[in-house]
């Protein structure tokens, strides 16, 4: 499974080191030397992890981390900060900005290997948080006294997309019942229509799933995002 990584540093040799070392390990590495351009990218694209230098022109690493933490798609992404300073004050400032891990200079293949061994589990959890897996299965629905059946398109931890969205309104509450591959019993969930993603498709967000339904969803997502 390819992990998407954003690396931001104004030093070209650092960017090249990350690409040369991590791409053979199964990472898709996007590199930026301009932190302003990187800030625009995190608003438009989802990443599994971000690496940024502490000291950069324009937006420094702390400012960029704060931008990432307020972005729509990457607010929970693990962030690694590269720093040449080993001080409690800088680490405290970094944690306040949303940094998850620190990587001290000089950056070498050895400390990169140790960092990504420690960070990969966190990045995989981030991938699973946002993963949307294809799922074609009948879904029985009950809303406002009406019962109908449709079909799912895909499934995430927090919701499902359904065909027949033209007849569903944003804010509508729906009872859902459907089965997952390999599951012994059907899931029964409450959901709320949050938007229409495309013609005739509706995105439904789950509302407070029961523990057994939540665990079934977790197992399905984990199986579909295994390394």
| Extents of the domains making up the chain | 3-130, 133-224
Q: How far is CA 140 from CA 57, 154, 165, 166, 175, in A?
A: 55, 15, 14, 17, 8
195 bridge partner residues:
203
Q: Are 3-130 and 133-224 the same fold in CATH?
A: no
Q: Where are the strands (E) in 124-180, listed by range?
A: 133-134, 138-143, 146-155, 159-163, 173-178
Could you give the CA distance from residue 207 to residue 190 in angstroms, rounded to a whole number? 5
Strands 49-53 and 79-83: parallel
Q: Per residue of the chain (227 residues), give pLDDT as tens.
A: 688 999 999 999 999 999 999 999 889 999 999 999 999 999 999 999 999 999 999 999 999 999 999 998 899 999 999 988 777 888 889 999 999 999 988 888 888 888 888 888 888 888 887 788 999 999 999 998 899 999 999 999 899 999 976 678 889 999 999 999 988 899 999 999 998 777 788 999 999 999 999 999 988 998 887 65
CATH of domain 133-224: 2.40.10.220
Give the global pTM.
0.70
Q: Tell me, what's the pLDDT at 49? A: 94
Q: Tell me, what's the pLDDT at 177? A: 96
DSSP letters of 60-96? -HHHHHHHHHTSSS-TT--EEEEES---HHHHHHHHH
Digit-coded pLDDT (tens) for 90-103: 888 999 999 999 99
Q: Identify the H or E element spanning 205.
A: strand 201-207
Q: Tell me, what's the pLDDT at 166? A: 62
Q: The tokens of 158 are what?
A: 């927090």
**3-130: CATH topology:** Rossmann fold (3.40.50)
Sign of CA dihedral 3, 115, 128, 65: negative
If one counts every other C-beta atom within 10 angstroms of the C-beta of residue 227, the result is: 8
Please, are residues 154 and 134 in contact by the beta-carbon 8 Å criterion? yes
């Amino acid at each position: 499974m390819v992990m998407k990584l954003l690396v931001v540093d104004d030093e070209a040799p650092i960017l090249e080191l990350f690409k040369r070392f991590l791409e053979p390990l199964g990472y898709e590495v996007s590199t930026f030397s301009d932190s302003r351009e990187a800030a625009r990218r995190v608003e438009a694209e989802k990443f599994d992890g971000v690496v940024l230098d502490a000291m950069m022109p324009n937006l420094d690493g702390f400012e960029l981390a704060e931008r990432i933490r307020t972005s729509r798609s990457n607010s929970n992404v693990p962030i690694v900060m590269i720093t040449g300073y080993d001080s409690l004050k800088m680490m405290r400032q970094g944690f306040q900005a949303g940094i998850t891990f620190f990587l001290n200079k000089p950056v070498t293949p050895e400390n990169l290997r140790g960092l990504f061994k420690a960070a990969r589990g966190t990045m995989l959890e981030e991938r699973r948080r946002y993963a949307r897996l294809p799922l074609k299965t009948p879904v029985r629905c009950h809303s406002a006294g009406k019962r109908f059946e449709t079909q799912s398109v895909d499934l995430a931890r927090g919701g499902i997309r359904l065909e027949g969205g033209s007849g569903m309104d944003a804010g509508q509450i729906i009872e859902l019942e459907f089965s997952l591959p390999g599951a012994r019993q059907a899931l029964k969930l409450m959901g709320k229509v949050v938007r229409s993603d495309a013609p005739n498709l509706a995105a439904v967000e789950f509302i407070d799933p029961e523990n057994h339904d939540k665990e079934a969803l977790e197992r399905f997502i984990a199986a579909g995002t295994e390394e």
